[in-house]
Structures are given as C-alpha cells and as structure tokens.
Structure 1
Amino acid sequence: MIQTFKADNLNERLDVFLTRMRPDFSRAHIQRLIAEGCVLVGGVLRKGNFRLKLEDEVSLEVPDAKNVEILPENIPLDILYEDNDIIVINKARGMVVHPAAGISSGTLVNALLYHCRDLSGINGEIRPGIVHRLDKDTSGVMVAAKNDKAHISLAKQIQDKTAHRTYIAIVWNNIKEEAGIIRGDIGRHPTDRKKMAIVQDNGKPAVTHFKVLERFGDCTLVECRLETGRTHQIRVHMTHIGHPLVGDPKYGAAKHGKIKGNFAIQGQALHSVSLELTHPTTGERMKFTSPVPDDMEKILNKLRNK
C-alpha cells in the first residue's frame, strides 16, 4: 500500500512528519521504513533527518504484513466486548502481552490468534492487533484491533488523548495531597537498562494525574489517569514522588517490603480499571470497566482491618 502526503510545515524532519501523519506507527518504525527505502520525497530517497519544504510530496510504501508465525494457543480470555472491529480484554496479571526475546508462547497475542480470525497487521507479525499494552504484572482492561482501519483509529485516539485510560494502584506511604499531576520525561535508566527513569535528556514527555481514593497510613489507594502512555509510566512516576507500588520488584518497593512486610501479590499492585474510547466504525462513545482483582482486594481488606 502506497500513501502520499503533502508537507504542511516548513523545515520539519521527514521522520517526524511521517510519525505525525501515521500516528499508528512509532517513530522507530518510520525510521526503519525510511532506511529500507520505503519512503520517497519528490521521487527521491531521503534520510530521516531530511528537512521538508512546504508542499513537498512524500510517498510512503507500507510493506504487506508478513504471515504471522506466532502459533495460536487455546488460552482462556476474559472478554469484556467483541465485534468485527475490536476486542476488549480483561488481562490477567502475569500474562505477557506479546512475544519477545525468549518468550514465544503463553502471551495475549497467542491467545488472540486462536480466538480471532483476523487481527490488524500494522504492528507486524510479533504484535498483531496490539494498539497499546499493559506490563506483564499489570492486570485489567485493554483493547486490540481486528483490522487496520480500527487500529489506525484507536492509535490516533490514544495519541490525541481522546481515549481515556484509568488505573488504580496501591502505593507505599501516605500521600498528603488529595490529588496531583506528575510530569517528567521518561527514558531508559542511565545505569540499569532494564528499568525506566525520569531523565533530563532523550526522554519522552510523560504526564500522570493521580487522585487519592483511600488512606491506610503505611499505604494509599490511588486512581491514576494517563495523559501519555510511556513504558512503566505509573510505576516510575509514583516512585519518583516517593510512593512506589506495593509488590513492584523493579522500582524501590523491595526495601519497603523488607521494612513493612510483604503482601501476597505477584508483581505490582496496579490494575487498569477502565478504558473509554470512540468505536472506530460506529462513532459510539464506549466505556469498559474491570473490577478490582482478587489479589488487590485481599490487600485492601488486610489494610482496612489493621
């Protein structure tokens, strides 16, 4: 499929322009397509840092999706909603969303391939249908796209912040404020490449809104609403303000566990409680919710009965 665009900003980088035109593609994906010769400016190959002039004609050829080689698996899914365009899942804690290095089975993608006849091919053979993701040990609502039209619509809603994602989390320590906004660019941790961190250089803007729902002295139950969707965003932002998530093995929760006693939960106490979006075909505004999972409910009951 070949698409043609007219440059509408003077001196904008080619890769930045195409990322804006195709919000369903990451900038890294666009840069790969440019490097593979899939992009022309006025019929000429250019690099990603090429500066466009107004009305420059940019053509993008998106290769056909490869046949998916990830095997379908009959893994039970908690389906909240499904039609010809989207499928909304209540993801279990502990389930990886898509295959990665060393993980080729047992993922949500394996389950979706078994359950669904079609999934969008925009994100390639490893992540078919995946518009956004949840960490392995984060549970709750997420949506997958069954076709490219739905994928493009959902990705644009996330980029434009018209799709609303709300989480609940149990964090260590008493948050004094009733509500707040955490801002801080997120990028790779400077010394631990398996972690993310708030960084001064080469990070991506990230904004998290939080509201206190319940206080327990040593812990606080909070609602978090994402304005952006960076890797580990809530975990990094809450840790940054001194309130790491209960059970989080990466971001400072271990020392709290040793001091204050661990709760029985595998991974961080974080749950995607609601997702609001506009249906890609009907235009209907839809909201999907997921109840607090049993492992977090047990922690809350223990805190309430102290």
Structure 2
Amino acid sequence: MSNKYRHDAKSFVYKVEEEAELLAFLLKVMSNRSRNSVKSILARGQVTVDDHLETKYNYPLYPGQTVKILKNKAAIKESVLIGMSIQYEDDDIIVINKEAGLLSIATAKEKKSTAHHQLMEYVRNEDPENRIFVVHRLDKDTSGVMLFAKNEQAKKTLQNNWNTVVKERTYVALVEGKVTEEKGYMKSWLRESKTHLVYSSHTPNDGLLAVTRYSLIQANQDFSLLELQLETGRKNQIRVHMQDLGHPVVGDKKYGSKENPIRRLGLHAKVLAFTHPTTGKVLSFEADVPKSFFAKSK
C-alpha cells in the first residue's frame, strides 16, 4: 500500500500508492501502534498531507501524495512547532511560515491547535511572563508568512499604523478557469452579511474599501496562477475579488469554487514586508509557493 521513502530525526515520510482514507493508511504504515495511539497522533496535528496539516480520519488520499508523520519525541519537545516554522525572531516580533490547516488564533471550538497558542507556549519556556500578541490573521486554510508581536508596544505600533507599516503584501492564488488578462485591478467596498459572507458593493463608501492588483504567472485551460498585491487588507478580500472576477480561488466553496484538485484552499501569503516597530528598518519575508499550485496551472 505504501513505502516509507525517507525519514529524518523528526519525521517519517510515506508516498501514497493507492486510494485510501487517512486513518486506514496510518494504521497500515504504523502497524506496530494501537488504533488509539494512531488516532491521537492524528488529533495532535502530527500528520501533514502534501503541504497541509490534516486531522480528519476520513480524509481521502490519492496516489502520488506525500504523508509526513512527526515523530512523538520530536512533537513532545517544546521547541517543535506543529504546522508552522519560525522564520525570524527578535525581542519584539516573531515571523512564522504557517501551513494550510492550522488556525491562526483560537475559536470557540479549538483553543490549543493554533499558531498563537503554540507560540505562547514557546516563549513561556524561556520566561513564564512572556506573551504573544496577534497583529493580523491568515485564514485557517491559507498558508504563508504571518507576523506576531512579543510585547504590547510592538503590537500597538504595528496595528495602529498597519497601512503605513506594511510595505508589501503579496499573495499567490490558484484560481479556476483561464485568466486571459496579464494584469488587472479590482476595487470595491466590502460588506459582511449576518451569515458572515463577505460581498462586494460598487457604491462608493458602501462598506470597507478593498483594492487588489493581480498579475498572471501562468495558466492552462482549467486553472490560473495569479500573484496578488493587496493595497488594503480586508477580511476575505482576495476570495471575494476572485469570485467577482469570475475565477474563484480553488477549493473555496464559500466563494463560488466548484473544484478542489489540490484538496486545500489555493491561497498562499508569499511576501510580507514591513517597517520594524522598534528599529524602523524595513524587513521582508517570503514563504515558498506550494508546488501543487504550479503543477495544476502548468
């Protein structure tokens, strides 16, 4: 059914050879473990499929996918962060690369399996008084660069001046259909319904102004890969603007997507450049675009 084709100090990596549900696959490749032990490995977020964290027992696997299992010892070590990695850290900020599938912050249902909670535990290992402050968010199913503050002052400086502090916010989106324009510009006013669906109004000042610029990286008949520059950072902005364009983000059922060949949301925060809240220097961070985005739009 599968072969372990490599492993390192932290992970076992397997290649999927035939269709299966994730739990069944794990039970086969980890046949020396009990069902409960395998279920808890899955529930703790130690399993990634291709480039995203997955906890669902019945998640469907297909030939060619890669399943990575973080070893228990590595997961137990406090320095190991699940579903994310630290790109940069100093006394004021932490920049991470978040995988798709990891919540940025707690929800009513989930308190611990979040980037914020893990970073809080991480900084409290050094000093129990340490804290982490949320500056901005990425949707659970969006991957890429994310910034947190390590003290109240840094948080206030970043949040209160977000539009001037941020020098570049570049996303990459895999969208449905063939986009023919090489470049484009979207402008609308975003409103949110009672059911938390964000939608565009083209009446000036009827909601929050949202501006997105896009350029085409590559496309085939079915899918297009776009680079997007955000001039405003509104909730679900890219997802709504891509729906308005007639090319919804792959895997985004909420905003019109009909297909999900990559089995995740086709949205990735590629670059975040900003002025450091204390030093005033401009820092820029980049997270590699998932390979599946390129493969589907070739």
TM-score (norm: length of structure 1)? 0.65
2:174 touches 2:297 (CA, 8 Å); kept in 1? no
SS of alignment partner, residue 208 of structure 2: coil
Q: What is the aligned length?
A: 213
Distance 1:157 1:164 in 2: 14
- Structure 2 equivalent of residue 265 of structure 1: 263
Deviation per residue, 1:133-192 (Å, 9 max, x gap):
000000000100011221122224422364321100011112222111111111113xx6
Q: Is the 8 A contact 1:80 1:89 kept in 2?
A: yes
Q: Which ranges of structure 1 fall in alignment gaps of 5 or more residues? A: 1-71, 120-127
Query: CA shift at 1:80, angstroms?
Result: 0.5
The residue aligned with 1:97 is 104
Runs (4+) off by over 6 Å: none
| Alpha-carbon distance in 2 for matches of 1:75, 1:279 | 24
Inter-partner Cα distance in structure 2 for 1:208 and 1:103 = 31
Residues of 2 paired with 1:148 and 1:244: CA distance?
37
Q: In structure 2, what is the Cα distance between the partners aligned to 1:177 and 1:158? A: 30
C-alpha separation in 2, matches of 1:152 and 1:207 = 24
Structure 2 Cα separation of the partners of residues 229 and 300 of structure 1: 25
Q: Would the alpha carbon gap of residues 232 and 302 (structure 1) be closer, same or farther in structure 2, given more than 3 Å must change?
A: closer
Amino acid aligned to 1:142 = M
Q: Find the residue that maps to 1:185 and give its secondary structure.
A: strand
Aligned equivalent of 2:257, options 224, 234, 253: 253
Aligned equivalent of 2:292: 298
RMSD over aligned Cα atoms? 2.1
Q: Residue 114 of structure 1 is aligned with which of 95, 118, 121?
A: 121
CA contact (8 A) 1:73 1:110 kept: no
In the alignment, what sits opposite 2:20? none
Q: Which amino acid aligns with 2:139?
A: D
Which sits farther off after the overlay, 202-211 or 88-97?
202-211
Paired residue type of 2:263: I
- Contact 2:165–2:275 under 8 Å retained in 1: no
The 5-angstrom pairing of residues 1-306 of structure 1 reads 75-76=81-82, 77-117=84-124, 118-119=130-131, 128-160=132-164, 162-189=166-193, 193-199=195-201, 200=203, 203-254=207-258, 257=259, 262-266=260-264, 268-293=265-290, 297-304=291-298
Aligned with 1:116: secondary structure? helix
Listed one character per residue, the Cα deviations across residues 206-232 of structure 1 (whole Å, up to 9, x for unaligned) are 111111111212211101111111111
Structure 2 residue identity aligned to 1:183: K
What whole-Å deviation, never above 9, does each CA across 1:12-32 have from its counterpart, x for those lacking one?
xxxxxxxxxxxxxxxxxxxxx
The answer to whether the 8 Å contact 2:225/2:293 transfers is no
Aligned to 1:250, the other structure's residue is in SS state helix
Identify the structure with the greater strand proportion.
2
Closer, same or farther in 2 for the Cα pair 1:132/1:163, shift >3 Å? farther
Check conservation: 2:173, 2:266, Cα contact below 8 A. Answer: yes
Q: Which amino acid aligns with 1:280?
A: P
Gapped regions of structure 2 (runs ≥ 5): 1-77, 125-129
Identity of aligned residues (%): 38
Could you tell me whether the CA contact under 8 Å between 1:169 and 1:271 is conserved in 2?
A: yes
Shift of 1:203: 1.8
Separation in 2 of the partners of 1:281 and 1:74?
28
Aligned AA (2:294):
L
Q: 1:51-99, CA deviations, whole angstroms, 9 ceiling, x for partnerless residues?
A: xxxxxxxxxxxxxxxxxxxxx9974330000010000000110111111
- Name the stretch that deviates more: 243-252 or 157-166: 157-166
Q: What CA distance in whole angstroms lies between the structure 2 residues aligned with 1:198 and 1:168? A: 21
TM-score, with structure 2 as normaliser: 0.67
Q: Show CA shifts across 1:260-298 (max 9, x none).
A: xx41322x10000010011112221111001012xxx12
Q: Which residue of 1 aligns with 2:8?
A: none
Alpha-carbon distance between aligned partners in 2 of 1:180 and 1:109, rounded to the nearest angstrom: 35
What amino acid is the match of 2:200? I
> Match of 2:197, as an amino acid?
K
